[in-house]
Amino acid sequence: MDLANTTSKLHTILDDLICKHKDNEYVYGRLINYVENLLPIALNNATEINKQREARRTILSANQDEFTSRFLQKNHYFYSPPTELFLHYDGFHFVIRNEDDIYHQVLSTISYEKCLQDWRHKVN
């Protein structure tokens, strides 16, 4: 984002609103109230919400990495590119699995553990 261009655009918008409503005392007063009181509160709220989302995203991402590592340690899946098959090793045998079965197992594990419930469809 070009800060100088955006700042200029914001100044132009505000100048246009001031000129448009300068003769209407009620609307001009509302404009002043919005800019002085409501806009700073709304922007502070937006900043706080964004921080909370980022913190939550960071936590969920870390949980996703930990879940993926733990899942793959417990469930030995392999992919064979030449045959385009997924294989599951149970400690004794290799069993062919289709991708939907693996997704189902991942989603079931997430539902059971509840650690990534909100991100269950992003874990693939």
End-to-end Cα separation, the chain, in angstroms: 32
- Please tell me the pTM assigned to this model: 0.66
Only one residue has tokens 């502070």, namely 44
Domain ranges of the chain: 1-61, 75-124
CA 89 – CA 83 distance, rounded (Å): 16
Report pLDDT digits (tens) over 60-103.
888 888 888 988 888 898 988 998 889 999 889 999 998 888 88
Percentage of the chain exceeding pLDDT 90: 48
124 — pLDDT class (breaks 50, 70, 90): low
